[in-house]
Amino acid sequence: MNIKTRLFVLLIIFSFTTQIFSSSQSIKRDLDKNIDSLMQKVIGWRHNIHEFPELSNREFQTAKKVADHLESLGLEVKTGVAHTGVVAILEGGKSGPMVALRADMDALPVEEMTGLPFASKVRDKYNGLDVGVMHACGHDAHVAILMGVAEFLVSVQDKLKGSVMFIFQPAEEGPPVGEEGGAELMLKEGIWKEKKPDAVFGLHVTNAPNGTIWYREGASMAAADPWKIIIKGKQAHGSTPWDSVDPIMVAFQIGNNLQTIVSRKLDLRESPAVISVGSIHGGVRSNIIPDTVEMEGTIRTFDPGIRDQIFTEITKITKNTADMAGASVEVYLPNGQSYPVTYNDEELTKRVLPSLRKIVGEEMVYRSSRSTGAEDFSFFSQEVPGFYFFLGVNKPDADPFNTPGNHSPYFLIDDSALPVGVKSLIYLTTEFLEGEL
């Protein structure tokens, strides 16, 4: 190869590298210029969504707010996906891969106790009960962040290589019993039928130091299976318990015996597991032994074999315990929607970490322990490589060991942490599309 040919090859390589560099860096420079004005909108959206929360599969006003915003950006929007979900696709100026970004929209049946000026006063019906409704898990932040990300990416559309699917998902907390919903239903209805994304990203705010990012490769969050047991005995007066088959006593014994599954039946060296009783209902009066008690709870696992073993043991222990007392039982396992393990693609995780460290610094990105919480983002990451991470949103001076966490009526989000969420999703998206991850 003569010197002229070498120079020509080097010029081509330099030109190609410069194009990648200039496109990616240009987008980041635009973000730096506009982040303050963008965040004013994001914070305003969050406060409004927080003040008017909606339960799973009932996110009508939230979905309308999202859809109106996306349409105002010039995007073609699909609404009514999995009841109230909203989906839009942004086509970049150049051809390339597709990234999906997901935010969940639903709130919880929790009465807010934060005292914020925009605190929720909303009440609704949940399982037949009158309840307060609150964004106690931070989904208001997720929605507002993704609305901001969509607005910015539309502003740099011509510079994007590839496309971005924005997924605003209902019912992450689980649809009402008897209904379908959430990520599983969105996939069932075919949001990825025409084209699957090459990767999917999502985040979750949590009570951790302000602006920190937490991740775990592989199995990061547990599979979740709700269960229900109905114990049927024989009613009698409380003064003559010998005339009864007492389902309350059977419930006590079942509750105790279920804990022996984890402590005595499973080899926990391989994979942790949790069995919890969350609800017991039976009886209406102090001096009447009832004929029926209902128990409900949850199972958390990281291994399908452990999950199957727990199912078998719960059924066996429950029926044997009831038989010994002369009662009968009905076991519903799972009872309602189950979530699989939330799995972060290991190769993708390695590739995204440098991008996140550019935003907050090496010392602010932490590898976390596995969480026994569950997420239906897991349905998306079963289909394509996914990465799901946590954003710390405590006040800068807060003690994380004494700060109310997700699902607490006192859970607080400090808005100063939200720019990290916006930047993270934008960096991950643009660098993935440019092939820099």
Which residues are the active-site residues? 106, 172
HEC secondary structure over the chain: CCHHHHHHHHHHHHHHHHHHHHHHHHHHHHHHHHHHHHHHHHHHHHHHHHHCCCCCCCCHHHHHHHHHHHHHCCCCEEEEECCCEEEEEEECCEEEEEEEEEEECCCECCCCCCCCCCCCCCEEEECCEEEECECCCCHHHHHHHHHHHHHHHHHCHHHCEEEEEEEEECCCCCCCCCCCCHHHHHHHCCCCCCCCCCEEEEEEEECCCCCCEEECCEEEECEEEEEEEEEECECEECCCHHHCECHHHHHHHHHHHHHHHHHHHCCCCCCCEEEEEEEEEECCCCCEECCEEEEEEEEEECCHHHHHHHHHHHHHHHHHHHHHHCCEEEEECCCCCCECCEEECHHHHHHHHHHHHHHHCHHHEEECCCECCCCCHHHHHHHCCEEEEEEECCCCCCCHHHCCCCCCCCCCCCHHHHHHHHHHHHHHHHHHHCCCC
